[in-house]
């Protein structure tokens, strides 16, 4: 085994896989030969650190089960949508996450609530936070199943340790008495400790009526509304806009028919 092969093998055995790839690149790159040992080592270590960070982010995005693979850089930046640059900067600055506040997103269907919620989840993951995404109905079903199979305490305990829980389609269907109580327990566990991002087609003023148990509804809203950032999105459906753009692009790219 050559000296270079031995070093490559040792790096691999130490699980420094990205550093090992950088080392192999340096061996075949003539410009790397003029670099000092410290400079080449720094390049290898930086590559390893960057690689591990990327893999950690990818793993956490997968674990988050985000409905959309959304990224902050692709958020539609238009004040007319109810999302002016100053508000978007506030959201992406993640002060709400550091201060354990919530983000409440409302607006008509298709206006980009889910995309924005998932993009905030991605931003939080990049900042080394843990995130989980649920549709409201799916979360309540999961809780019901956990109660039946005896895993409820374990599930709620795991959920309480997640930095950001995203609940989408809040109030899309009426929330039963038991459902409202389950949500109250989850919200109560997060007060001053972690954050929620909630997206709903219902305006905030209608959330109370969406819950069948009024006393519990008071408790839920009291914990959610205070110390939260409220964003009301507006404008034309983003799905419709995207479909129109795709149609226009298809027409533009279609070949001009040749007359016989």
The secondary structure of 112-131 as a DSSP string is SHHHHHHHHHHHHHHTT--E
Q: Which residue has the higher pLDDT, 260 or 19?
A: 19
Q: Which domains are assigned to the chain?
A: 3-63 (no CATH), 65-236 (3.40.50.300)
pLDDT tens for each residue of 39-61:
888 888 888 888 888 899 999 99
Residue 197: in which H helix or E strand, if any? Answer: strand 195-200
pLDDT at 238 over 80: no
The reported pLDDT for the residue numbered 1 is 61
On the question of pLDDT at 182 being above 90, the answer is yes
Per residue in 122-143, pLDDT (tens digit) is 999 999 999 999 999 999 999 9
Residue that the structure tokens 């793993």 belong to? 59
- Write down the pTM of the prediction: 0.80
Q: Is the pLDDT of residue 256 over 80?
A: no
Phi, then psi, of 197 in degrees rounded to 5: -120, 115
Q: pLDDT (tens digit, 9 = 90+) per residue, 90-125?
A: 999 999 999 999 999 999 988 899 999 999 999 999
């Amino acid at each position: 085994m050559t000296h270079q092969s031995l070093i490559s093998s040792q790096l691999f055995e130490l699980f420094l896989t990205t550093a090992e790839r950088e080392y192999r690149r340096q061996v075949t790159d003539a410009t790397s030969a003029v670099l000092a040992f410290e400079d080449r080592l720094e390049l290898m270590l930086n590559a390893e650190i960057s690689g591990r960070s990327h893999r950690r982010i990818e793993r956490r995005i997968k674990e988050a089960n985000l409905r959309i693979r959304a990224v902050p850089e692709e958020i539609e930046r238009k004040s007319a949508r109810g999302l002016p640059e100053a508000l978007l900067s506030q959201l992406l600055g993640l002060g709400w996450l550091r201060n354990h506040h919530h983000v409440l997103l409302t607006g008509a269907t298709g206006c980009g609530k889910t995309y924005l919620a998932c993009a905030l989840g991605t931003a939080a993951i990049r900042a080394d936070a843990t995130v989980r995404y649920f549709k409201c109905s799916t979360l309540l079903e999961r809780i019901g199943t956990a109660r039946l199979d005896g895993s409820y305490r374990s599930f709620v305990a795991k959920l309480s340790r997640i930095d950001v829980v995203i609940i989408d389609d809040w109030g899309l269907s009426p929330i039963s008495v038991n459902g409202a109580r389950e949500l109250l327990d989850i919200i109560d566990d997060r007060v001053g400790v972690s954050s929620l991002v909630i997206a709903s087609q219902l305006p905030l003023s209608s959330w109370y009526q969406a819950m069948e148990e009024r006393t519990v509804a008071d408790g839920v809203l009291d914990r959610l509304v205070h110390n939260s950032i409220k964003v009301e999105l507006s404008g034309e459906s983003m799905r419709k806009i995207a479909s129109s753009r795709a149609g226009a692009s298809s027409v533009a790219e279609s070949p001009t028919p040749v007359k016989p």
